[in-house]
Structure 1
Amino acid sequence: MKNVTLKVEGMSCGHCVNSIEGALKTIGASGKVDLSGGTVAVAYDESQLTITAIKEAIEEQGYDVV
């Protein structure tokens, strides 16, 4: 498992947390959102997912990965 922390803009509430963590779960990653820090800690299997796919999953929910 690889761990990465992404800076994500536009998160402000529990719905944001659920949207992002749910999207990551759907693609086979696990995520932990830190609203106050504006980050998402992601754990994923490098043989199954790319960082690009993870960023796209978050951006499809309406957030900006910076």
Structure 2
Amino acid sequence: MLQDVYTVTGMTCGHCVGSVSSEIGGIDGVKEVEVDLATGRVTVTSEQRLDYAAVSAAVDEAGYELTAREEK
């Protein structure tokens, strides 16, 4: 399993967290999504490295903006 950490802006509440988690969780290969509302950090556990554009599109669909992916 791999983990990637992304930064998402615009989230302000639990509903935001649920929306982002749901959209990213729908990407093929994603096993777990953890969102830290206070920092905007989203940790995604997946079977393979995820395409940044796919994660960005999922976050956009939820109504927020993906601003970065931390390199590991």
TM-score tier after normalising by the smaller chain length: 0.7 to 0.9
- In the alignment, the residues of structure 1 paired with residue 8 and residue 25 of structure 2 have an alpha-carbon distance, to the nearest angstrom, of 17
Q: CA–CA distance in 2 between the matches of 1:40 and 1:15?
A: 15
Give the count of matched residue pairs: 65
Secondary structure of 1:27's aligned partner = coil
Matched, 1:36 2:3: no
Rounded to whole Å, the distance in 1 between the matches of 2:23 and 2:35 is 12
TM-score (norm 2): 0.77
Cα drift, residue 15 of structure 1: 0.4
Q: Deviations over 1:14-60 (max 9, x none)?
A: 1011101111222242211101111111111227x423212211111
TM-score when normalising by structure 1: 0.83
Unaligned 5+ runs, structure 1:
none
